[in-house]
Amino acid sequence: MVEVLPTKVVVHPLVLLSVVDHFFRVARNTNKRVVGVLLGQVNGDTVNVANSYALPFEEDEKDSSVWFLDHNYHEAMYDMCKKVNAKEKMVGWYHTGPKLRPSDLEINQLFKRYIPNPALVIIDVRPRDIGIPTDAYFAIEEVHDDGTATTNTFTHLPSAIEAEESEEIGVEHLLRDIKDNIVGTLSTQITDQLDSLKGLHNRLADIHAYLGKVAAGTLPVNHAILYNLQDMFNLLPNLEKKETVAGFAVSTNDELLVVYLSSLVRAVIALHNLIQNKITNREEEKKEDGG
């Protein structure tokens, strides 16, 4: 019986916080990576990663094939975790990458002693690109057309960051404590929108590069990707319709009207405060002269 691999990996915020804490405790200001175990459930075709714990791990910086992972510590920790929450099973492992390394397949084989198909989630604790800092992989056997022996390799899976209601509340309180109060709300919103537009630009650039390689014949045609792209293009508004153009114009004018009125109100309030300040200063001067 061929086992079907999951098609999506969902990571919870608690896992991200635990991994960041693990990294800054063990490998801060170094080029080392940290390794740990992921706990959660496999719900149909989705791996739900809800918890994690760190593992002692060392590797030679010059030779990545030389590494040590304390599996005895893992077995003891996993037994304790099962006593605390039996619903959370081992679903895979993580490291802080930020990219795949040659020894990852060997480490993955070690974790196969405990579960048949462990998921590997690379969590970038110092992301430089716009987007979510997680990449998920599963190990598969690649069959070659020339009849040679199969080889193990990693296949990439889409990942997402999702939270339950209780986790959302905790994350909001955490962000409220660490945010810079000097920066205004409007500035924060503009920065978030700018980051979103940068992320969209990067995704469009990836799509453009992929289609260019397909057109040049360097990559095979993937009909599933093309169908998804076609669905995206079909969802775009038709700007040739007068009703659509008029709707955008009305919406833009309404927003600009609010901005214009807000500017007028701010100017009136500023003038009022200036006049009130002059009147107050004049009264103070009269009191001083009279005294």
pLDDT tens-digit readout, 3-54: 567 889 999 999 999 999 999 999 988 889 999 999 999 998 999 999 999 9
CA geometry: angle at 97 spanning 93 and 101, to 5°?
A: 90
CB 68 within 8 A of CB 74: no
Confidence at residue 142, expressed as pLDDT on a 0 to 100 scale: 80
Q: Looking at this protein, which amino acid is placed at residue 121? A: V
Could you say which residues of the chain have pLDDT below 70?
A: 1-4, 175-184, 291
Structure tokens at 193: 């929108």
Q: Looking at this protein, which amino acid is placed at residue 2? A: V
Confidence at residue 1, expressed as pLDDT on a 0 to 100 scale: 41
DSSP 6: P
Confidence at residue 214, expressed as pLDDT on a 0 to 100 scale: 92
Q: How would you label 238-259 residue by residue, b for 16+ Cβ within 10 Å and e otherwise?
A: eeeeeeeeeeeeeeeeeeeeee
Confidence at residue 195, expressed as pLDDT on a 0 to 100 scale: 84
Going 106 to 77 to 124 to 115, the CA torsion angle's sign is positive
CB 93 within 8 A of CB 37: yes
Confidence at residue 181, expressed as pLDDT on a 0 to 100 scale: 55
pTM score: 0.69
